[in-house]
Each structure stands twice: as C-alpha cells, then as structure tokens.
Structure 1
Amino acid sequence: MHALVYRGPGQRAWQEVPDPRLEADTDAIVRVDATTICGTDLHILKGDTPEVAPGRILGHEAVGTVEAVGPAVRRVGVGDRVLVSCITSCGTCRYCRQGRYGQCLGGGGWILGHLIDGTQAESVRVPFADTSTYPAPSGVGDEALLMVADILPTGYEVGVRNGCVQPGDSVVVVGAGPIGLSAILSAKLYTPARVIAVDVADNRLEAAKRFGADVTVNDGREDAAAVVQELTGGLGADVAIEAVGVPDTFELCTRLVRPGGHVANVGVHGRPATLHLETLWIRDVTITTGLVDTSSTPMFIELLSGHAIDAAPFVTHHFGLDEFELAYDIFSDAADTGALKVVLARARG
C-alpha cells in the first residue's frame, strides 16, 4: 500500500510501505476511506515532536471500513463503517476507567501517527479496536464524521470544558484555525454572552463569524486587549482559549483574561512560553492544559446525527488519497489558501 511517511524535520513522502497486519488479538485493520491533516502533523514536520521517529506514517483521524479483526474484538466486525479516534484507549487502566483516555497507561493515548503508524495511508492498524473506534451512524457523511475524530472533541474538551464556560460568559478564542473554530462552535452550546475571535488572518476571522463568533479582532491591526476590555466593562474575558501554540498567543491570553477567570491552553507548543507570575499570582487566574480524551465523541456523533451542529463548513479542500503532497502544501499555507480542514478520500467505485 501507499502512505504519507515522515522522513525527518521538513521531509515527507507519499510512498509504498508494507500493508498493516494484526499484531494483537484486540487489533483491527481499517481501510481508510477518508482522512485529513492536523495542525499537529505540521508541528511534527517542524521537528517540534522529537519522539516521532523518521519512517513513521503520520495521521490520527480517519473514517473507514473494517477489513480484519483480531479474535478478541467483539464490538466491530469486517465490513463495518467506523470512525477511527485520534485517541486509542485500552479501556481498563486507571485513566481509561476515569474517561481520561488521552492519558491511557495500557498502551493507548495519542499513539496513531505518533508512536505507531497512523491514518494517512490506504489502511491502518487500530489497537484496542472495541474502545478506539465508533460505529458510523447512517445519515452522517464521511467528511462530517471525520471532524469528530479530533478537532470537535479537542476544541470542546481542552478549550470549552477545561475553561469552564458558563451561560453569560465572555469567551475569547485566540486562533481561528480548525481547533479555534471548534471551540467557538462548542462554546455556543453554553449560551455565552459573547464569543470574541482573535487572529491575524482575515479569512480565518470571516470563518469565525460563520462558526458563531460575535466579534472578531485582527490582532495585527487592532489591540485585542483594548477591544476585550471595552466589551467587558474593563474586566477582561471570563475564559480565554489559546488555540495556536506559540508563546505570544499564550501570553496574550493571560493578558485578556479577567481576575478569577480561566485560561485554557489547547495549542501544541514547540517552544517555551513565559508564565508571568509576577502579574498573575494576585489575579486568581486558573490555567489549564490538556490532551483531548475524546470522552465527548459519542455526544458529538449524536449532535451530528440530530443535525444540532453542522460540521460541513470545516472542510474547505478535497483531494484524492494519492494527493497528500499537494494537500500538505495547501494546508500548511492556510493564511493564503484559506484552508481549514482538507479531506483526502478514496475514490468511490
């Protein structure tokens, strides 16, 4: 088969690789029908994630069809259409029993495209298939369902839920890429008084409006702190969600939040950020970090099935499975291309 292989910082290739095979009784082999590229993949290519070894197949999101299962797999079978989660769960360790699958101690967590071969391929081996895949509901297309593999649970769990968004809150989301847009969309489930989107790209701010942002701020031309202060009567935001992963945006969030508020960091950081405790210590600010657990995945599948949310607007570009090189070029130049999520799909036939 062919797959997108990481060859070291700045190097990638769509190349022939061995077919995946069952390695444990709880494995499944899934034919990839649709997959996508994540901002985390770009961090890997920049060298920000050194534990990813050259030769690794990238990717951690997919919708596909089960081709083979190990003898211990009970909940999915050959021919089933499934969502492959970005987080793998053993289902039995201390953290999995708490629903904190991202911290799995039994061989799971974020492993696809990280510690084992991932989903940017024609097929993928999925460990712990019973607890790491979800049956695809009828009436929900591959593209919409694919948004539940990572970005919707991540924006919600690590941003909105960790940030403790409440009705009537002022919420500022710094970074209007796919994760920031997911945070905006899911924050609206809690009826905040206002959601403010901050970015430096006008096309992403336009997208933020479509996803529910009430106010947008181009921080390259405007003073985001002044705008937030004016909108909140001088207090600052109740919740500031960081969805970029660079020091400047994290530090901006700590300036935008009110005393007693929450800063929820979602972005993947490849460099240290300064924690200004000399000003924060007296302001009762709570700062959270986190890796998505995907405990909210069933909820989002239900919201999609019931047409309570619309995930289709996330997808801006479509490619065939063999067009990964072009797709990466488009996705990595999002400021100019307007790319949000790109979908690579197997040809139907």
Structure 2
Amino acid sequence: MITGPGNVELISENLPPLGPTDVYAQAVVSGISHGTEMAWVRGSAAALHRSWLPEQRLFTSGAGRDYPVAPGYETIARVTAVGSAARDRIAVGDLVALDRPHATGHVVSVDTAEAGRLPAGIDPERAVFFILTRVALGGVHDAGIHIGDTVVIVGLGTVGLIAGQLAYLAGARRVIGIDRYPIRLEAAESLGMTAMHTDTEADVAHLVRKLTGSAGADVAIEASGSYAGLHEAIRCVRVGATVSTVASYHGDQGGLRLGEEYHRNRITLVSSMTVNGCPQRTHPAWDPPRLSATARQLVTDGHVRVDGLITHRIPFSDARTAYGLIDTRPEETIKVVLTYDH
C-alpha cells in the first residue's frame, strides 16, 4: 500500500468469504509499472491534484483521490480454491492473469478468473508481460505502421522494448530505439533495433535524419512518459507523420515546445489508451478481450521476446526496496517484479 509520497507499507486485510461463483487465487509474481505506480509513489499522479468527472470525461479543480492507494495491475496468480457453482469453469491449479494490486491473494469472480486463464505450462515470468504487451499492441495499432516504415521508439522500458518488436511484426523496415540507459539500449540492440543514446553530443533527431535520407522517421511511439521524450519523438519524425503515445504523463514537466516542430511539420499526435473506458479506434473489430488474447498469443508463441527483460526479482515482503530501486536507480532496471512465497 502506498500511504503517501515515498511511503510504501505492507498491510494485512481480511478477504471476503468465497462465494459460490468466486475463485481464490494466490499471487505467484506481479510486475511493477514504472510509470503509473511510480507516479503515486512520487506524488505526481494526476488524480492526487485534479478530480476526474467520468460522465463528462474531464479533470476539474480539486484532488479526486488521496492516499492510501493499492498499486499494481500486472498480477499472475494460481487458483487454489473454487466456489461450488464455478467448478465446471475453472480448476484448482490454473494460472490466471489479473488486473489486481500487489497482494498475496485475491478473491475474484469466476468470470474474471476465466477471462484471465493462461495456457497450461506457461512460465509465470513470461505471463507477467501479457498486460504491458496489450498496452504496446494498442499503441502500435494507433500508430498506423506500414510495410517499409522507419519507426522510432522513445523510451526503452518494458513497453518500449515490446512496442519495437511489434513494430517489426507490423511491417517496419527499421526500428530505432532511443533511451539514456545503456542496459536498455543493449536490450534494444539484442532485439534487432538500432539503439541511440540521448546523452551523446549529437542530436538524436539529426541522427535519425541521417538514417532516413534527411526526411525523418515515418512513425514514432513515445513510451518514456516524459514531456522531453515526447518532444524528441515529435522532432524525430517527418512532415505529416504520426506520434503515438503509450506512456502516462504526470506532474508539471518541462521540455515540450509545441510551437516548434509540432507546429511546423503538421504532426498527428495520438493518445493510445487501452483502459479507462476508452474504446479502441478500431472498435468493435478490436476490443479489449481481443487485444488481450492477441497479446498473450504473441508472448506465448515467442513472437514477442521477453526473456532477459526482468532485471530484478524482489520478494513481496520487501516491496519498499523494489519501489526505491526504481525511484533512485532506474538506470539499473528494465522490469522489476515482486515474487511471493506461500
């Protein structure tokens, strides 16, 4: 539980009794979102400072939420008990992917468990990437990549590295990955991308143009969650190109100047969001269940490679250390997961 900026605590809660159509699942592994969850840890989440009006779909003045907050949405769990009316739909021992906070166990409906049921024999540490693969897949769909395109990925965390692989699957001829951390650049290169370091003396937008005959990339996917990263994505693309954002942006950051390349080059900026009540732009052909099923298949079949992306496995009992690592030493991380002993 995040009880305030910089404060991560373990608390004990009683779960509701298991109903006839309920399932109890014990967590095996859960992934920490370096964007969404860290915004709560740092106190920069939009909902702490503005109030969301769901009917109007607007933020307005005044804080909408306060601490404590239960973070997490990338949980892989094993079914250990099934309600009397649900035993023909799911079995003890099944692995399920749950959009639920970090916790040792969860009581969920059989509908939820069945929707998240995973293929038999899947490694839980591979399955933990399913949800962020869905996020990246939505961003690639929204980017409108064509066969032969050059695609820039800004931000090579988990989502960026997966998006780069999906860009190739969508037909990109070249994918250029941009980040400032060597561990992530090395991962991008191992996945077939051209890696560019943001802290070099050379301007990455100029380097992209050198690789593209001075035109710029056809598409950019922004996965860093920083306004400066979004600005660089805009600078890296050609006239009339699309920039698809798959990251969450928090706080009052600097570095985004819309009066420059965005204005001069007629860039299309697309927000890609596969949750929060927003239908896909390709809905109803592509709805959340289809996105999720496709993401799972891509990882299961090995078309999206995730081996080696987990850099740290930290016991749930030491969650404070995990968040502290991401906050203070991000250059050492790609994917940090919590593990559970039962």
- TM bin, normalised by shorter chain, reads 0.7 to 0.9
Q: CA deviation at 1:275?
A: 6.0
Letter in 2 for 1:299: T
State the one-letter code of the partner of 1:220: D
1:243 is matched by which residue type in structure 2? A
Distance 1:165 1:57, change over 3 A: same
The answer on whether the counterparts of 2:178 and 2:198 sit within 8 Å (CA) in structure 1 is: yes
Q: Distance in 2 between matches of 1:8 and 1:25?
A: 37
Partner of 1:156: 137
Distance 1:279 1:302, change over 3 A: closer
Return the match for 1:124 from 96, 106, 118. 106
Question: Counterparts of 1:340 and 1:45 in 2: how far apart (Å)?
Answer: 18
Report the TM-score when normalising by structure 1: 0.79
Question: Is it true that 1:212 corresponds to 2:192 in the alignment?
Answer: yes
Aligned-pair Cα RMSD in Å:
2.7
CA–CA distance in 2 between the matches of 1:25 and 1:255?
A: 56
Q: Aligned to 1:313, which of 304, 308, 328?
A: 308
Question: Does structure 2 retain, via aligned residues, the 8 Å contact 1:19–1:123?
Answer: no
Task: Tell me which of 93, 96, 99 is aligned to 1:83.
Answer: 96
State the TM-score, normalizing by the size of structure 2: 0.80
1:246-267 CA distance string (max 9 Å, x none): 2111111111111121101112
Corresponding residue of 1:283:
265
- Judge conservation of contact 2:26–2:80 (CA < 8 Å) in 1: yes
Alignment correspondent of 2:61: none
1:288-328 alpha-carbon deviations (Å, 9 max, x no partner): 11322554221232233333333222211222232212222
**Is the CA contact (8 Å cut-off) linking 1:253 and 1:263 kept in structure 2?**
yes
Q: Which residue of 2 aligns with 1:54?
A: 67
Judging changes above 3 Å, is the alpha-carbon distance between structure 1 residues 186 and 76 closer, same or farther for their aligned structure 2 residues? farther
Question: How far apart, in 1, do the equivalents of 2:17 and 2:167 lie?
Answer: 40
The answer for the alignment partner of 2:126 in structure 1 is: 144
Question: CA contact under 8 A between 1:83 and 1:146: conserved in structure 2?
Answer: no
Structure 2 contact 97–127 (Cα < 8 Å) conserved: no
The one-letter amino acid of 1:265's match is T
Alignment partners' CA distance in 1, 2:94 and 2:110: 16
Which residue of structure 1 aligns with residue 172 of structure 2?
Answer: 192
Aligned in 2, Cα 1:234/1:309: closer, same or farther, shift over 3 Å?
same
Q: Deviation at 1:66?
A: 2.6
Q: CA deviation at 1:347?
A: 3.0
Q: Does the C-alpha gap of structure 1 residues 224 and 54 become closer, same or farther in structure 2, counting only changes over 3 Å?
A: same
SS at the partner of 2:308?
Answer: helix
C-alpha change, 1:333 and 1:191, in structure 2 (3 Å) is farther
Give a deviation string over 1:29-57, Cα, whole Å, max 9, x none.
Answer: 42111112111111111122225532332
Identity of aligned residues (%): 25
**For 1:46-81, what per-residue CA distance to the aligned partner results, in whole angstroms no more than 9, with x for missing partners?**
122225532332111111123456788688535152
Say whether residues 1:340 and 2:319 are aligned partners: no
1:201 aligns with 2:181: yes
Change (3 A) 1:283 1:77: same
Q: Which amino acid aligns with 2:195?
A: T
Where structure 2 has 5 or more consecutive residues not aligned to the other structure, the ranges are 49-63, 276-287
